[in-house]
Amino acid sequence: MMIQISKVVAGTMSWGSWGQNFSKTEMADLMSFCVEHGIHTFDHADIYGHYTTEEAFGNAFEISGLRREDIQLISKCGIKLVSPNRDHVLKHYDYRKQHIISSCETSLSNLKTDYLDLFLLHRPSPLMQTDEIAEAISTLLSQRKIRSFGLSNFTHMQTELIRSKIPVLYNQISFSTTHHQAMLDGSLDYMQVHQIRPMAWAPLGSHFQKEPNDPKALFIKKMAKNYNTTEDVILYHWILKHPAQIIPVFGSTNKERILNLTKNLDLQLTQEDWFAIWENEMGYEVH
């Protein structure tokens, strides 16, 4: 089933040892801050922080004062990362039934919860067996260990392969002004046809990696000034305006930026400005 997800989702990849390395208290505080300002969905993956961030988040959740029904938890499985916390020696993908189930159960234990609101396969594998995946997901759904199922980084044909065996409700993909191929290759069209909700990781793309005097960067800066807001808000709203109802997954842990985003969630880009931003990034006018 489709679940209630906040308009933008808090990505937790940098909350732990892969980024800010927050203490339990700091993590609980940021979690509560997000919920207080309307962001109640948190995106995880088993591998984040070399398999440590989910547990850190779960420990923080226990002291946060939040109720489980106050938040939605998303996690992913399938990548086997080379890590001091695992015994495999080669990065690879694993979508065998038992691995999917045990990965989910480990995430539940780490996050101190008895269900995930959404469970995603992290990246497609050439060796994935759709019948085995469907059996694993059906088991988890029937046991109420997950509430809904989706994919991450799957093309529309790979998605079609999976959904031939089991319904797919979400697909988390790379999408931004600087990485907009999904809008051109049929991926977003496919998701709309099949009522699959897209989520966008890295929604700011490579915009903030540009030189300050880059003409494309200056254009977005000017656009933000015209709307009396910030560049990141403009980039998020470029995504939010798409009819596929894309959900951005933001990675910032800066409270000021989070507050600025939530205060500006009702902003509406004009249609011409949306096309102007796209034209700016492509470097030529639409055909």
Task: List the domains of the chain with CATH numbers.
Answer: 9-282 (3.20.20.100)
Whether the per-residue pLDDT at 81 is higher than 90: the answer is yes
pLDDT digits (tens, 9 = 90+) for 12-42: 999 999 999 999 999 999 999 999 999 999 9
Rg (CA), the chain: 19
pLDDT digits (tens, 9 = 90+) for 192-226: 999 999 999 999 999 999 998 999 999 999 999 99
Verdict on whether the full-model pTM lies above 0.85: yes
Band (pLDDT 50/70/90 cuts) for residue 190 is very high
Q: What is the pLDDT of residue 169?
A: 98
Structural contact between residues 267 and 240, judged by C-beta atoms closer than 8 angstroms: no
Q: How far is CA 7 from the centre of its chain?
A: 12
Q: Is 95 a catalytic residue?
A: no
Q: Which helix (H) or strand (E) element contains residue 9?
A: strand 9-11
Q: What is the pLDDT of residue 3?
A: 84
Q: What is the pLDDT of residue 2?
A: 76
* DSSP letter (8 states) at residue 172: E
In terms of C-beta density within 10 A (0-12 exposed, 13-18 middle, 19 or more buried), how is residue 132 classed?
middle
Q: What is the pLDDT of residue 287?
A: 85
Q: What is the mean pLDDT of residues 78-107?
A: 97
